[in-house]
């Protein structure tokens, strides 16, 4: 049965929308007419690419449910209308983009639409990490910011994220207002653009050079904690992304070898299956080079350089460090090195699906612990709040998905400052005759063993979206019956504490272990998080395997 939509006041099925898009331009027509699979046409037009609280993210291509110049222009027109309604005048927006295919073009489209609406634009003249954009917004005194990136997603994807005047991604309170304005843009074919050379003549366009990046790096280096000389050998890969220059400048002076095959920007990410440093595959070339060079530490950053993944040479083999493990290590290292600076306001901020290990370490140092929903925007929001109220001081924040931040120069996860601290931390332990794995084992001895894992189920298209919805309903109604030993169930869709409502379920077991289930906000995926606490490592692995097997049987049924 055809899917029916209400569009521009009339009902339109996906075939009618397809026919409409054929008249947008010749390039769009050619791409669409080359599609022979009816299911593919339906998938491109059965809905609009949703502008959600995380902005846009989707596969690139022609169609209403794709990232393209029309959907980007629509989003930007909606943002422009919101900013004009909210701020009236003296509005400016900073824009950055990563190495993905079309990111630079999408950034230019966004700039042209903003300028056409009388909004001043500061656009980077080269690719730049997401945390640098976060810094730039506040540094230049802009009203908002935009970054064109799909982070660590496969090459087919791109995305569009909006930042507030403090450089924090929009939280739902404000994002929902923008969404209303975006949804009100109906004639996406004829959104007005102002060529950037004309915008420059009118004083509406400024190209950003290296001066702001230099200021960002200066702020990053203020977070430095250990600068003693060390013979530690390090291998770094930028995975064809934006981290190459900023990261190398942040850690200059250390013995770092670069993976040349992945040094330069490449929107096809031709040397990796997926440019995600959370996955071992992404670090294959770096690990090979590390083995050849006898390196002690390997790390990589994702295309927009907000995530970092690492491997450590331990007992002659390279061991990958998970996001939760690195978070715990960084918490222990940062608090140890800054112990004299800590006070009753010092605070760690983590997400609800992040392990308790780092939080327990912070508690021992006397820190306040604050939990947020999944997404670094909520951690950034807390920094904004603390800056206004003065009742807390942000020390460190992180999430299990390999994103960390110390300092308040950015309001988003920052793999540049993380790279600096991970390398310094590894050097600190190296000089003590230890690896990061040795340091982690010491933490386990003191705080107990934590085994954390994530399963991701990709469920694409209309059928996938329906299955994700039905699974969440099933777990909401019967989840506590599927597993033994569940003490509490937290349904965040009902609102818990002062957290916004969100479609997340968390099951806490009698011993403090837990698992959580949530649909991804940016991809057609269902994510299941596990955190097992057990004094015996073998028991922990056995319990994890049993819970995962049960969960897989339910989801894949």
Q: How far is CA 437 from the centre of its chain?
A: 26
Choose the final residue of a domain: 447, 462, 480.
447
Rounded distance, CA 144 to CA 162, Å? 7
Q: Are residues 341 and 473 in the same domain?
A: no
Q: Are residues 429 and 456 in the same domain?
A: no
* CATH number of the domain within which 185 lies: 3.40.120.10
Q: Given a cut of 70, is residue 12 above it in pLDDT? A: no
Active site members? 151
Q: Are residues 443 and 454 in the same domain?
A: no
List, in order, residues 6 or more apart from 243 with CB less than 8 Å away. 129, 301, 302, 305, 415, 416, 419
For the beta carbon of residue 211, count every other beta carbon within 10 angstroms.
9
The 3-state DSSP class for residue 205 equals strand
Q: Are residues 527 and 545 in the same domain?
A: yes
Question: What pLDDT score was predicted for residue 54?
Answer: 80
Averaged pLDDT, 528-550: 94
Tens-digit pLDDT profile for residues 159-181: 999 999 999 999 999 999 999 99
Contact 149, 130 (CB under 8 A): yes
Q: Are residues 396 and 269 in the same domain?
A: yes
Choose the final residue of a domain: 208, 238, 261.
208
Tens-digit pLDDT profile for residues 463-511: 888 899 999 999 998 888 888 899 999 999 999 998 989 999 999 999 9
Q: Given a cut of 90, is residue 120 above it in pLDDT? A: yes
Q: Are residues 338 and 478 in the same domain?
A: no
Q: Are residues 343 and 395 in the same domain?
A: yes
Spatial CA neighbour of 525 closest among 401, 413, 441: 401
Q: Are residues 469 and 546 in the same domain?
A: yes
Question: What pLDDT score was predicted for residue 522?
Answer: 65
The 3-state DSSP class for residue 381 equals helix
Choose the final residue of a domain: 421, 447, 473.
447
Averaged pLDDT, 24-38: 96
Exposure letters 336-363 (e unless 16+ CB within 10 A, then b): ebbeeeeeeebbbbbbbbbbbbbbbbbe
Tens-digit pLDDT profile for residues 245-275: 999 999 999 999 999 999 999 999 999 999 9
Residue 176 belongs to domain spanning: 50-208
* CATH number of the domain within which 457 lies: 3.30.310.50
Q: Are residues 232 and 282 in the same domain?
A: yes
For the beta carbon of residue 218, count every other beta carbon within 10 angstroms.
10
The 3-state DSSP class for residue 129 equals coil
Q: Are residues 247 and 225 in the same domain?
A: yes
Q: Are residues 479 and 349 in the same domain?
A: no
The number of distinct structural domains making up the chain is 4
**Mean pLDDT over all residues of the chain?**
94
Q: Are residues 242 and 365 in the same domain?
A: yes
């Amino acid at each position: 049965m055809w899917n029916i939509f209400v569009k521009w006041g009339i009902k339109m099925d996906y075939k009618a929308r397809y026919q409409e898009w054929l008249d947008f331009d010749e390039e769009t027509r050619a791409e669409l007419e080359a599609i022979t699979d009816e299911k593919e046409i339906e998938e491109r037009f059965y809905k609009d690419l949703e502008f959600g609280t995380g902005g846009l993210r989707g596969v690139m291509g022609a169609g209403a449910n794709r990232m393209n110049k029309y959907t980007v222009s629509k989003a930007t027109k909606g943002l422009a209308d919101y900013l004009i309604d909210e701020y009236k005048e003296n509005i400016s927006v900073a824009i950055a983009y990563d190495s993905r295919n079309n990111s630079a073009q999408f950034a230019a489209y966004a700039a042209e639409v903003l300028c056409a609406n009388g909004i001043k634009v500061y656009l980077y003249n080269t690719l730049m990490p997401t945390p640098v954009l976060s810094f730039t917004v506040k540094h230049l005194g802009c009203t908002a910011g935009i970054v064109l990136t799909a982070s660590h997603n496969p090459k087919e994807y791109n995305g569009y994220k909006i930042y507030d005047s403090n450089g924090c991604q929009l939280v739902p309170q404000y994002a929902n207002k923008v969404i209303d304005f975006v949804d009100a843009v109906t004639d996406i074919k004829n959104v007005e653009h102002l060529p950037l050379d004309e915008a420059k003549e009118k004083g509406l366009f400024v190209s950003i050079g290296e001066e702001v990046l230099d200021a960002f790096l200066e702020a990053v280096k203020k977070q430095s904690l250990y600068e003693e000389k060390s013979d530690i050998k390090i291998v770094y890969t930028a995975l064809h992304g934006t981290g190459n220059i900023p990261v190398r400048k942040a850690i200059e002076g250390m013995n770092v070898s670069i993976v040349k095959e992945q040094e330069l920007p490449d929107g096809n990410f031709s040397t990796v299956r997926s440019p995600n440093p959370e996955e071992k595959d992404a670090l294959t070339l770096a690990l090979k080079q590390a083995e050849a060079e006898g390196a002690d530490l390997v790390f990589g950053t994702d295309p927009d350089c907000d995530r970092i993944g690492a491997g450590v040479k331990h007992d002659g083999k390279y061991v990958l460090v998970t996001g939760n493990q690195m978070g715990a290590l960084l918490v222990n290292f940062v608090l140890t090195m800054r112990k004299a600076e800590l006070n009753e306001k010092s605070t760690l901020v983590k997400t609800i699906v992040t392990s308790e290990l780092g939080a327990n370490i912070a508690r021992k140092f006397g820190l306040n612990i604050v939990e947020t929903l999944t997404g670094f925007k909520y951690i950034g929001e807390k920094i904004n709040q603390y800056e206004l109220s003065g009742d807390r001081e942000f020390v460190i924040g992180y999430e299990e998905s390999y994103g960390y931040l110390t300092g308040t120069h950015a309001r988003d996860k920052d793999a540049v400052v993380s790279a600096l601290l991970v390398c310094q931390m590894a050097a600190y332990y190296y000089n003590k005759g230890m690896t990061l794995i040795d340091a982690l084992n010491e933490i386990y001895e003191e705080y107990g063993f934590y085994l954390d894992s994530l399963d991701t189920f990709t469920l694409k298209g209309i059928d996938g979206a329906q299955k994700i919805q039905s699974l969440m309903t099933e777990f909401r109604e019967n989840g506590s019956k599927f597993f033994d030993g569940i003490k509490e169930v937290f349904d965040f869709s009902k609102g818990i504490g002062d957290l916004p409502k969100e479609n997340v379920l968390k099951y806490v077991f009698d011993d403090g272990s837990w698992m959580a289930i949530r649909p991804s906000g940016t991809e057609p995926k269902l994510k299941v998080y596990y955190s097992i606490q057990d004094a015996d490592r073998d028991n922990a692995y056995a319990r994890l395997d049993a819970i995962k097997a049960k969960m897989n049987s339910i989801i894949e049924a």
